[in-house]
Structure 1
Amino acid sequence: MAVRVSAELPSVVRTGEKIQPEGVTVEVELPPAALRQFIDTEAATFSTVAELTVRNAQGTESADAAWKDLEAEPVAVPAEGGAVLVATGDVPTVSFGSPGRATMAPAGLGLDFTPLTAEGAPTTPPGLAVRCEPAAGEEGGEEEGTLGEITVRGATVPAVPGPVTTSPAAPPPEDLPPAAGPGFTPSLRDRIQGLTDRRLESLDGDEPPANCPVEIPPEWVMTTAEAYAAGYANAAKLDGATALGPAFMKVVLNKRYIADGCASTIDVTSSVDFDHEGKRQLPPSRATFLTYGFMPTTATMILEQVGDPAHVHSHTVTDSPAWPEETTITAQLSMRLTDVEVNGVPLDVGPDCRTARPFEQVLRGYGQSYPRFGYLVAFGGPLTGYAHIPPFEGCGVDEDLDAVFTAAVSSAGKKADNYTKMTQAPLCVATNPDVNCPPAVPKPER
């Protein structure tokens, strides 16, 4: 029989960290010869329970684990030809105790068939048990049959989830809140902080381990990367939104990297500069709004980056097997308006109609590494936040239009009331050019 086994596994873990295989599937192609016994017993359908033996190996050591109770939906016995069954289910975790390369591979398969007649009655005999193993040296043998290779790193220097070949992100597990409204719910942010607090409280009064905190020298991990981001920004007063991007970003990863063994956290600082035709800005965006609710106004908006590069801070909790992560990106921007038309008539605002001062745009993303969902710096995802738009100045040539644009666009008071949602594509990292390079342009989400 031809058997295909698949599972989602992390590429990097720490020693002792529990690995939870996800999406486990055993697909079996049954040739016509394998179905003769069912036909002889007048079976109309058969259901299947599979048990996969998985060999977990590291160096010269190995141990077998039983992935039991993988169930397949009932399959009709065909009058001629073969049949395909697909067994799925939850499987136990595994961990490795020392650093190095580890592998997980199928070492044996058991199939328990339960055939039934067309009336739903058991056949005679009522079942069939089959045991098989990979054919060495052939397709499905030991080498080709490896489910995955995992890099196991020591606990004193936690692993960094770096870019790997992308696959569809898994849905959030049941014990984490799903996405809701703008970004993820605050309870996920609270859970990330709660995990950190509880870890520190559990160490209260104990002598801290020697590896907390450990600051890794920047030259050990710092690298450059590129990515695109695209999205929408609301103009709260105008009851509308304008498209942003796709914005090209130059990223410097891991400018500071602190692994705190006491708190079981990793804090990473990176930086981002936007780049559009050699300028530190996002691409110009043109949009039309109904100013004051009735007057169609069209303008080109340019968001220019000012001051230092945007600050990227990621806080990861490594004491949880999910590795939940919170990322905050803070950029200083200035908004400039050009090519303004009011009801189709050009309005000369001059070359320097802009916000009177820079404003801070803060975007936050929440996610986890295992199974992956939400926002992660390496893989991208949705980032959300709000911005306060200051008053305008320098608007108008023949007349002062500052008050007009301030009244129509700027935030009321000091509240950050303009909602922004950006979607980042996976990073193209200089040290790993075969993955996600050149960078892709993401589809913006509303």
Structure 2
Amino acid sequence: MRGGVRSRRSVRLAAVGTAALVAGVLPGSHSAASGGQGELSLSYACQFASGAQDVTVAFTQQFPPAATVGKPIVPGDLTMSVAIPRAGATAMLPAGTSSVTADGDLKTHVTQGTSAADSDWSGLKAPDTPVAGTDDLIVALTGKVPGVTVSAAGDVAFSVGELALTLHPRQAAATTPSTPDPGPSSADATAADATTADGTAPDPTAAGTAAAGTTDVTGTCTPKPGQDATLATVHVPGTPGLPSGPGSSGTGTGAAGRGGRPAGRGPSAAGPAAGTPGASATPGRKSGTIVPLDAPPHSGVSTCGKLPTGKLDPKRLPPYTSDTAVILPMPGQPELPDGPLCGFAVGFSNVNKLNGAMIINDPRAKPVMAEANGRRRLVLDYAKQYIEVDSVMDLTLPPSHSTFLTYGFMPTTADVEFIPRGVFTIVQTGDAFFDEPVVTTIGGYQDIRIHNVRINGTPLDVGPNCHTATPLDVVLNGRNDDYIPGGDGKPDYYLFNGGPLRDDNLVIPPFTGCTAHGENLDALFTSALSGPGNSLNLSQGMLCDPVSNPEGSCQPEIQLPPLPQRKKS
């Protein structure tokens, strides 16, 4: 078992920095907007497995004409049409391909004054597109993008950059009509209601099946130099009491760091090309920093709190008997020394009957830290290459406010409270030393209480004790095998390092106590919520191990992980 990870290795929450902004009029086919409709066409150089390929990408997006300091600037849905020359499409797609769907992740750049930040506009998708014909193959990807906020007046420019494009070949003989996707039923569900067991999202637009014996076609595309890649500029006028005027500084926030990806990959051709005439920003002007809007905020916490004192649940410990095994602590011996650990886990709970999701432990709203006591029990059998480490964890989640379409049409909001039934039991088996995957299960029980219910805006009194009749049996699973040749290729989870955790078969029990004014509403909530097929999708950050840190704390602070995203790994 590896030791705790030093806090200095924490992943940066955002790419923050200031640099001289070079501005100039560069050749290129585009119509950059000052707010309103942004339209832009750029030439891209792509690298696919079949070789280099030039494509043309046309962008269309609506922007607000102006914005306010401290308020989000939210661009409209992005449409990105990628035109691939016919010869190139024929070379890169497998024989027998009749249509393709596509996914795209676009890196954009947000600048204000001398401040700049990269923003990942990921999760763009193209519907099933026929490939027949002799003209260029055009796939039109669309999707929502995150907004930005600025803390001072000044024009905010949005420029496009590197594009990661994945084509999914389809074969006509295997194509079957797809069922229309009703879509998420709430704003919360938009972020993760379709995440899969590896923390990524399936392709909801695909029709039919992948061409037999084929794999996805993936390429990385970079704008060719010498083009102005500015899509739109939004004016932010001065506000009393805040910096404004010529040379104003600003703080913008975009989407860098989405899904844990690095915010920058070195110089990009999205901005003015190197060596091109242009006017640099005026020296001496103050400038703020740009921080991603969807990056998690700072936790402000650097050490652990109360150490859990609960006992391991014997029902969750795997049975193991062997003449060569050593189980610690041995009968009659004192308990193992305490091992305090703590960290944050955030995510979504997907509710099957409601086709929606609610945020769990929202990192933007005072999230609660999980406290663990590591290595409460060890099972060591080196002769049989078996290592098991058992720990306990205390997690009292804050209430979640959620919005759903009950029965598919009735807008319903409610506060959902999670009440723990004792501590969680953590079981880790396997070890890298034996080239074995480290498999982690985290199991525990939670009650659900519902209150502050409104249906179509009208309050519904459910009483003070509307809750599940029996506790939820939560079993989160994670796996780490990145060091094993031919591993599963999915994002890895390791207790100290964090990563994605999933419960793919969360059963919501029936409800009881939902009674007010003589009316029993148990059956209403049971029919609307209870049943199998629900899931819990969490992203855990690095754990703080104060004992292993010379300072006795984890400086500068304990990491808040990002929420799981619709993103392919």
What is the TM-score normalised by the length of structure 2?
Answer: 0.39
Structure index of larger Rg: 1
